[in-house]
Amino acid sequence: MLPLVADMTDVAALASAIEAVGREHGRIDVLVNNAGLGANHDALEVTEADWDDMMAVNLKGLFFAAQAAARVMKPRGYGRIVNMSSQAGLVGIRRHAVYSASKGGVNLLTKVLALEWAPLGITVNAIAPTYIRTPGTAERLDTPEIAEDILARIPVGRFGTIDDVSAAVLYLASPAAGLVTGTILPLDGGWTAQ
């Protein structure tokens, strides 16, 4: 175990932390880009700071973490990168202009990296979850009117769970997904199928 702390907005520190993992273990097999910010903003109220903060973590930090990991993965000719996106990167959701833009960027970045790094033996995919029940979302999801509105848009009729997300990550990180790259896997109970 090599506990490291890295600020996703500090590209040099992020690269240094990932390189340290490569040195300590001699390789990196899997990177899960799971750090992210989320916030609701009316588009007319978004500030430059709102935009810059979210893009710095959700898109810029994700890219440079993937780049650093791919540099460690390249000599072995093997690696799995799983980026955390969102259904908000696939469909419009009111009050999510900045968040949706960042996750839409994650989706296209995932495709470009998959194309560039496939010849290196590195797959790059993304997961696009719906609302996931976590301690951080419980307050909103436990509000009856909010829950009712969200559940009306999810055909399977339930929120996602951490187990749903981890199962998708395990699949994309496994040998079973060796032919899967450049894919955005909606984990949304059918929200984006409508």
Average pLDDT along the chain, 194 residues, taken 10 residues at a time:
86 95 96 92 95 97 98 98 97 94 98 98 98 90 94 96 98 97 98 92
For the chain, the structural domain boundaries read: 11-187
Active-site option among 78, 99, 131, 171: 99
- What is the per-residue pLDDT for 40? 87
Q: What is 11-187's CATH superfamily?
A: NAD(P)-binding Rossmann-like Domain (3.40.50.720)
pLDDT at residue 2, as a whole number: 78
Catalytic residue status for 99: yes
Return the pLDDT at 160: 97
Full-prediction pTM beyond 0.85? yes
Bridge partners, 84 (sequence order): 127
For position 45, what pLDDT does the model report?
Answer: 96
Q: Looking at residue 18, what is its pLDDT?
A: 96
- How high is the pLDDT of residue 5? 87
pLDDT tens, residue by residue, 113-150: 999 999 999 999 999 999 999 988 888 899 999 999 99
